[in-house]
Structures are given as structure tokens and as C-alpha cells.
């Protein structure tokens, strides 16, 4: 394991070697982020078959997706705090090994409960991304940091976009268990690379984990997000989702009071309440909400029968291939975001990204009659996501001390997750509320899809407003 001191002084002769090590570490961290985010979409091609494959009901099978979302939401802020306390390289390695374990459990599963355990572990590995982003601030030179953060932030969306067609192909050509063996092998490669290449930077904070705070946050998030994600299945007119939301809110409020009194809290809420951090996190919710609209609307439009008058009749694999360029565009615009941050700052860059995202959805409102039109919509909105997602952690890290960077970036990633999870529930509700009869089956109407695009645009534009309210901030590196 390579150790790097934050106080190390290098000679000019050392600089090329240090830059090379940093460059290789950036590649490893981006690869790890890509694999962690890729696992989020692994089961989407299997969703319709999961009840048969796992010998369960459709309602129970939906937990295969929900469990991963919950695991990721819980892991991101807690992993960030663990990285600040015990060293980020160690947390990255543990996250990689958790992904290996989760993948192997899923690969060996033929029933629901072990599959849920494995998928939850795969979700927990999402802590890799915020920890990796915050580590980049410590191991790169200032000239590299913006580009490195932009590249790794982009993996959050790119992995999911690439994962869909890849998973569709593998599931179609091989036994479905191969998907998880593949993710397990890739996770092993990530773990080896992290152990060998990524340096261990001694903690600038130290201390002990706030176990009660971690359990309280996990409980509050899980209860709240279960209410959001399962509300459509249970019915928003029933008591269960509202009971979850109210209970989750009470737990989170109690957690907040506890954290404010704790001498070494899991999350320093006073830092989180600073105006730049607070507004950036609110913008993350809005932009995360807007980002998911394309992931929900476009695949359905592509796959609905042409005889509906607005469906495009694509197969699952073809739909995934039509969406794959969006992931590449997202990756391509990550370095563009870095250049924009150099020229205009992270605040204006985030506003530009959210504006481009909104523009993509407004194009979708009027142009959704052909696959190539939806490809254009996906690419424009993905460009906005690529620009915006790279700017958010840069904004956060410029506003918090180095000792709080991991927790702050993890909390920001959580806010994005809250936005996307809420978006999934809202979009599902909109599509279910306006349907048309097709051969005895209710399908979402054309107007419902246009409404989803409009809602996504509105969310992105609200992110623009919130971003422009963020004051200019002097970087806090201590």
C-alpha cells in the first residue's frame, strides 16, 4: 500500500513521478466508479422476468431494484465520513470488496432473499464514488483536480447508461447469472488496482465513527425512501407510504438534533447549513430529479408498439443501444465541464449544465416521433448532466474544510439520489395517471410522456435558479 503524507515536500525531480502516480490513480478511481454505477442498471433488462426467475411475485421482485437504491443512499454519506476518519483508500478498498461479495451472492442466487442481500451489498458499494471524488482533491495537483473530479463525477451517469445495453446483451446471449459473475470479476480488478495503485493519505481528521448517528441516518433514509419508491405499488391513497414518509421524517429530525449535540458527529450539519453547501445540495435534488426523466421516459417510448401511434417498436436491446450514446456524451462533456469551471467557476458551470438539461427536455416535448429524435434529446440532456454532475462536488469541496470533504461530498451524492428516487416515483405516477387503452391493457398516453419531459425541464430550471443563488465562495482547504 502506498502512503502519501499531506505535508510531503517534493523536489522538482519528484514531480514527474508524482504526476504519473496521480494520473494512474485517477484512471483507477474512474474505472472503479464506472463499475460501481454500472451495477445499478444490471437488472433492468431482467425486470419483467424476475418473478419467474426468482419464483416470487411482481411486487416482491421490485425490491431487487429498490434494495440497491436504498443501499446506495445509505452508503454514500456514511462512506464519506469513514473516509475522513480512517483514510479514503481503505474505504475504497472495502467498497470494492463489498461489491465483489454482493456480486457473488447474486450470481449464486435463484430465490428472492439472497438476491436482495446481494443487491443491497452492490448498492453499498456506491460509497466508492463520493470517497473517490474527495480523495482526488488530496492526491492531485490543483491544475489536475478539476478535470479529475469532472471525470469521476461523470462515471455516476455513464456507468448506468452503458450498463443498460450491456446487461441487455449479456442477458439475451447467456444465462442471467453471467451478469453478476461479470460484475464480480470487474470488482476484483478494481479492488486489486485500488490496493496496488491508489495511495493511502493519512486522515486529517481522525476520531471514532458516530455509530448512533450512522444507524439513525440509515434508518431515517431507508424508511423515507421505502415510502417514496413503493408508494406507487402500495397506492398513494393508502396509509402505508404516508406512514413511512412521516416516520422517516421524524427519525431524520431526531437524528439532526442528535448530530448537533454530538462532539464528533457523523455529518457536521452546521457545515451543511452554510448557504453555499445548502443551496448546492438543494440544486443536487432538483437536477437529480430532472436527470432521471430521460431514463424513465425514453426507454418506454422506444419500446411501446408502433400501433399506439407514438411508440417506436424497438426491442429492449435496440432501445438500450439507442440510449448508449447518451453515456458517451456524458463522459465527453466531463472535461468540458472542467474547462468551463476554469473559465467561469463551478457555480456558473452548474447553472449551464442544468440549463442544457432543461433544453434537452424542452426539445423532447416537441420532438419524440422517431428514434433519432429521442437520441438527440438523450444526448442534449446527457451533456447537461455531464457538465452539472462534475461541477457539484467542486462547489461542495470549495466550501468545506479538507477534513469534512468526504462527508460533504457523500451528503451531496445522497441529495442527488433523493432527487432521482423522488423523480422515479413522480414520473411513474404521471404515466399511470394518464393512460390509453391498447388491446385491453392500459398504456401511458402520449400526453403523459410530454408531461414528464415538461416536469423534468421544470426541475432542471429550478436547479438553475438555486445555483444562481449560491454566493461566490472563497475556497476552504484547511
Residues 313 and 436 in one domain: yes
**pLDDT greater than 90 at residue 99:** yes
Residue 1 has pLDDT above 70, yes or no: no
Local confidence band at 12 (pLDDT 50, 70, 90 cut-offs):
very low
| pLDDT tens track for 122-160 | 989 988 988 898 888 888 887 777 778 878 877 776 777
Same domain, 241 and 328: no
Percent of the chain with pLDDT over 70: 92
Mean of all residue pLDDT scores within the chain: 83
Within this chain, do residues 233 and 137 fall inside the same structural domain, yes or no?
Answer: no
**155-to-134, 179, 307, 340, 389 alpha-carbon distances in Å:** 14, 19, 37, 19, 9
State the pLDDT at residue 15: 55
pLDDT tens figures, 340-365 = 888 888 899 999 999 999 999 999 89
Q: In this structure, are 292 and 233 located in the same domain?
A: no
Domain end call among 166, 187, 208: 208
Q: Residue 298 is placed in which grid cell? A: 425514453
How far, in Å, are 42, 106, 315, 319, 325 from residue 165 at the CA level?
Answer: 9, 20, 11, 8, 10
pLDDT single digits (tens) 314-347? 887 788 788 888 878 888 888 888 888 888 888 9
| DSSP helix/strand/coil, 330 | helix
Residues 297, 348, single domain; the answer is yes
**Residue 9: pLDDT above 60?**
no
Task: Provide the pLDDT for residue 10.
Answer: 45
Mean pLDDT of the 104-132 span: 92
- pLDDT (0 to 100) of residue 119: 93
pLDDT of residue 203: 61
Mean pLDDT confidence for 80-105: 91
How far apart (Å, rounded) are the C-alpha atoms in residues 18 and 139?
9
Straight-line distance from the first to the last Cα atom of the chain, in angstroms, rounded to the nearest whole number: 26
My answer on whether 358 and 445 are in the same domain is: yes
Q: What is the pLDDT of residue 478?
A: 38
CA proximity to 423, closest of 320, 268, 284: 284
pLDDT at 462: 93
Q: Are residues 154 and 176 in the same domain?
A: yes
Task: Judge if 110 and 174 occupy the same domain.
Answer: yes
Domain boundary among 221, 248, 265: 265
Structural domains of the chain, count: 3
Whether residue 189 sits in one domain with residue 221: no
Q: Based on the domain organization, do 45 and 151 belong to the same domain? A: yes
For residue 95, what pLDDT is reported?
Answer: 94
Question: Could you give the CA distance from residue 381 to residue 364 in angstroms, rounded to a whole number?
Answer: 10
pLDDT confidence bin for 104, thresholds 50/70/90: very high
Q: Check residue 206 and give its pLDDT.
A: 60
Return the C-alpha cell found at 66.
429498490
Residue pLDDT, tens place only, 177-235: 999 999 999 999 999 999 999 888 776 556 677 888 888 888 888 888 888 877 777 88
Query: What kind and span of H or E run contains 288?
Result: helix 275-303
Residue that finishes a domain, picked among 230, 265, 300: 265
Q: What is the pLDDT of residues 422-461, one digit of tens each?
A: 887 788 778 877 777 777 777 888 888 899 999 999 999 9
Query: For 38-80, what is each residue's pLDDT tens digit?
Result: 887 788 777 767 888 888 887 788 788 878 888 888 888 888 8
User: What is the domain range of residue 233?
Assistant: 210-265
CATH number, domain with residue 313? 1.20.1250.20
Task: Tell which wins on pLDDT, 476 or 88.
Answer: 88
**DSSP notation for 80-103:** HHHHHHH-HHHHHHHHHHHHHHHH
Same domain, 151 and 41: yes
Same domain, 286 and 376: yes
Question: Has residue 7 got a pLDDT over 50?
Answer: no
Amino acid at each position: 500500500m502506498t502512503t502519501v503524507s499531506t505535508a510531503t515536500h517534493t523536489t522538482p525531480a519528484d514531480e514527474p513521478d508524482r504526476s504519473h502516480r496521480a494520473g494512474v490513480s485517477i484512471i483507477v478511481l474512474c474505472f472503479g466508479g464506472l463499475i460501481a454505477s454500472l451495477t445499478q442498471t444490471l437488472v433492468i433488462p431482467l425486470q419483467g422476468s424476475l418473478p419467474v426467475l426468482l419464483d416470487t411475485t411482481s411486487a416482491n421482485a421490485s425490491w431487487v431494484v429498490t434494495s440497491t437504491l436504498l443501499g446506495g443512499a445509505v452508503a454514500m454519506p456514511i462512506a464519506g465520513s469513514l473516509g475522513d476518519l480512517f483514510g479514503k483508500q481503505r474505504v475504497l478498498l472495502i467498497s470494492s470488496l463489498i461489491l465483489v461479495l454482493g456480486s457473488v451472492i447474486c450470481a449464486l442466487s435463484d430465490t428472492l432473499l439472497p438476491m436482495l442481500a446481494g443487491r443491497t451489498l452492490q448498492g453499498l458499494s456506491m460509497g466508492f464514488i463520493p470517497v473517490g471524488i474527495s480523495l482526488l482533491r488530496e492526491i492531485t495537483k490543483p491544475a489536475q483536480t478539476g478535470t479529475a473530479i469532472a471525470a469521476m463525477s461523470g462515471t455516476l451517469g455513464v456507468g448506468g447508461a452503458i450498463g443498460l445495453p450491456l446487461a441487455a446483451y449479456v442477458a439475451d446471449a447467456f444465462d442471467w447469472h453471467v451478469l453478476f459473475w461479470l460484475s464480480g470479476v470487474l470488482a476484483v480488478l478494481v479492488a486489486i488496482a485500488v490496493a496496488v495503485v491508489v495511495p493511502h493519505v493519512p486522515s486529517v481528521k481522525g476520531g471514532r465513527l458516530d455509530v448512533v448517528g450512522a444507524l439513525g441516518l440509515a434508518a431515517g433514509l431507508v424508511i423515507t425512501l421505502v415510502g417514496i419508491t413503493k408508494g406507487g405499488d402500495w397506492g398513494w391513497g393508502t396509509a402505508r407510504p404516508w406512514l413511512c414518509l412521516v416516520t422517516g421524517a421524524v427519525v431524520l429530525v431526531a437524528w439532526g438534533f442528535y448530530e448537533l449535540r454530538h462532539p464528533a458527529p457523523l455529518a457536521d450539519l452546521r457545515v451543511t447549513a452554510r448557504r453555499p453547501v445548502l443551496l448546492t445540495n438543494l440544486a443536487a435534488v432538483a437536477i437529480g430529479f430532472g436527470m432521471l426523466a430521460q431514463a424513465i421516459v425514453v426507454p418506454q417510448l422506444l419500446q411501446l408498439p408502433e400501433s399506439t401511434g407514438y411508440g417506436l417498436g424497438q426491442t429492449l436491446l435496440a432501445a438500450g443501444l439507442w440510449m448508449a450514446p447518451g453515456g458517451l456524451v456524458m463522459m465527453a462533456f466531463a472535461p468540458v465541464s472542467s474547462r468551463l469551471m476554469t473559465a467561469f467557476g463551478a457555480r456558473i458551470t452548474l447553472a449551464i449544465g442544468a440549463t442544457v438539461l432543461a433544453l434537452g427536455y424542452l426539445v423532447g416535448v416537441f420532438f419524440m416521433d422517431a428514434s433519432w429524435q429521442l437520441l438527440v434529446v438523450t444526448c442534449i440532456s446527457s451533456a447537461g448532466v455531464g457538465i452539472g454532475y462534475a461541477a457539484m462536488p467542486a462547489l461542495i469541496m470549495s466550501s468545506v474544510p479538507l477534513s469534512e470533504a468526504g462527508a460533504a461530498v457523500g451528503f451531496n451524492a445522497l441529495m442527488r439520489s433523493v432527487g432521482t428516487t423522488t423523480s422515479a416515483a413522480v414520473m411513474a405516477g404521471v404515466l399511470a395517471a394518464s393512460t390509453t387503452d391498447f388491446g385491453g391493457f392500459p398504456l401511458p398516453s402520449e400526453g403523459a410522456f410530454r408531461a414528464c419531459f415538461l416536469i423534468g425541464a421544470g426541475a432542471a430550471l429550478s436547479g438553475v435558479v438555486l445555483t444562481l443563488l449560491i454566493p461566490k465562495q472563497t475556497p476552504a482547504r484547511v
